[in-house]
């Protein structure tokens, strides 16, 4: 059976969506779920100040949660229509930030996206953001398990 796919979206594909992707993939593997996550950016051009392939806050959160992420880390990727076509489920990390980007760049898909409410570091501290992503990924895994 082919894996189902969840696509996590954020603005720069540098912190929130990457953390959700890695958490989801490790937990799905451990539970033997036929799901795999990927992630990408809705506005990669806004990440000009991002240094390196992934946020140091995402790396710290993964370490704190004992998640072994693949090395080397890939660099952020911009979203394409093909990403939506391949996904069974699409989750944008913050509705207030990402719904308008979806409508501008991928309007045909905007209403098919599940929108979470996870603040970036300009609004919340990383411990709060990490905790919320962890909780939401766990809830998503539980929903998927019930659908088996």
Average pLDDT over residues 61-77: 88
For residue 1, the model assigns a pLDDT of 60
| pLDDT above 70 coverage of the chain, percent | 99
Average pLDDT over residues 65-92: 92
Which one-letter DSSP state was computed for residue 34?
S
Domain region containing 57: 4-146
CB 102 within 8 A of CB 79: no
Can you list the pairs that 119-125 forms with residues at least 24 positions away whose Cβ atoms lie under 8 Å?
119/94, 120/10, 120/11, 120/15, 120/16, 120/93, 120/94, 121/15, 121/57
Full-model pTM = 0.94
pLDDT digits (tens, 9 = 90+) for 1-56: 678 999 999 999 999 999 999 999 999 999 999 999 999 999 999 887 888 899 99
**CATH number for the domain that contains residue 114:** 3.40.50.2300
Number of domains present in the structure of the chain: 1
């Amino acid at each position: 059976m082919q894996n189902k796919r969840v696509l996590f979206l954020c603005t720069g594909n540098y912190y929130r969506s990457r953390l959700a992707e890695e958490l989801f993939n490790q937990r799905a593997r451990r539970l033997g779920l036929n799901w795999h996550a990927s992630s990408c950016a809705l506005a990669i051009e806004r990440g000009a100040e991002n240094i390196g392939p992934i946020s140091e806050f995402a790396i710290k959160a993964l370490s704190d949660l004992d998640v072994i992420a693949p090395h080397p880390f890939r660099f952020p990727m911009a979203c394409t229509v093909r990403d939506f076509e391949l996904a069974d489920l699409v989750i944008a990390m913050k509705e207030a930030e990402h719904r308008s980007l979806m409508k501008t760049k991928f309007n045909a898909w905007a209403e098919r996206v599940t929108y979470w409410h996870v603040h970036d570091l300009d609004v919340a501290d990383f411990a709060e953001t990490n905790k919320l992503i962890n909780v939401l990924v766990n809830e998503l895994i539980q929903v998927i398990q019930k659908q088996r």
